Chains A and B, each alone.
Chain A
Amino acid sequence: MKILIVDDSKAMRMIVMRALKSTSTYGDAEMLQAVDGKEALGMIEADPPDLVLSDWNMPEMSGIELLQTLGERGIIPPTFGFVTSEHTPEMYDRAMAAGAQFLVSKPFTPESLEGALAGAA
């Protein structure tokens, strides 16, 4: 399995990767990183991952802009979820309408992240 983690914070990318590696389901997955939606878009177009975990608020291209662009181009990966500190009902509705499967709130635990992923599968 190939997982793309998109976040402008290197620290948060590390935390998400560490959380995934601690799970039985995703511990052996190949993990790729992108620093914003723009870089992620290029990576997804070149070699689509199985799962994308994206921050919402990023420079250059936000997470929701990334997902909307992927939808316009018909290349949304099988599973796309947001990991964000600003989880609101409005954001949830926008994310679901654009094709996301879940939102995980920061801070999260490895268990809550794995639970959200299990619910999306």
Chain B
Amino acid sequence: MSDVVQASNLAQINDEIWGAVLGMVLEPAGPEDAQPEGEELVTGQVQITGDWSGAVFIELSTSLARKATAAMFFTEPDDVSEEDLIDAVGELANMTGGNVKAQLEGPHALSLPSVTAGQRYRVSMPGTRVAGRVSQCCAGQLLTTTVIESGASPKAQDADAQVLASAADSP
């Protein structure tokens, strides 16, 4: 699994998806980069179950999600409906998660995507640890992709749960 969740591999998956589907270019971002305080965010996630179990999250600002949705629907960001935005972010998470799953050995199942949107929310999954994360920029806005793994040791869970929470939270 370690090769699949390397930041460089996740970044390459996103580069291909955002380039081919949206015609948008992603640039590397530093691990210290974070969403601005109070930013309205959208998180899309899919779960993978099988010999390896975990989940893939993508997190981006609502503003960037509007641009991505507009590119998908061939419209303007201001004309994007909330329903279409949720659909588009879910599909982006589905493509990222599906490409992660496709690189795993053995049979695995991919869940349907779920999407959370709003401000000051926290995404956490008990009994998991962060297995990989990459931050990228598009038009000056951040896209963070996180892979979490189920069944981690209690020590690893404690250490990484905080990383995930602080990255997904906008206090």
Which residues does A use to contact B, with CB under 8 Å? 8-12, 14-15, 18, 57-59, 84-88, 90, 105-109
Contact = CB atoms under 8 A, between A and B. Distances in A.
A58 B112 CA distance: 7
Given A11-B91, A15-B72, A90 B99 contact: no
B95 A106 contact: yes
Given A10-B87, A86-B102, A88-B102, A57 B110 contact: yes
A86 B87 contact: no
10 contacts: A9-B88, A9-B90, A9-B94, A10-B87, A11-B72, A57-B98, A57-B112, A85-B97, A86-B99, A106-B95
Contacts of B98: 57, 84-87, 106
B69 interface: yes
Interface string B75-94: 00000000010011011001
A39 to B, nearest CB: 16
Contacts of A10: 84, 87
B91 A9 contact: yes
B112 A59 contact: yes
B99 A85 contact: yes
A9 B87 contact: yes
A107 B91 CA distance: 11
B97 A108 contact: no
Contacts of A105: 99, 102
Contacts of B110: 57, 85-86
Interface string B97-131: 11101100001001010000000000000000000
Contacts, number: 62
Pairs A-B, 7 closest by C-beta atoms: A85-B98, A86-B98, A107-B20, A9-B91, A11-B72, A85-B95, A11-B88
Residue among A12, A106, A107 with most chain B CB within 10 A:
A107
A88 B91 CA distance: 19
Contacts of A107: 16-17, 19-21, 95
A103 to B, nearest CB: 11
Nearest to A107: B20
Given A18-B74, A88-B102, A107-B20, A8 B97 contact: no
B94 A109 contact: no
B73 interface: yes
Contacts of A57: 94, 98, 110, 112
Contacts of A90: 107
A86 B74 CA distance: 25
Contacts of A59: 112
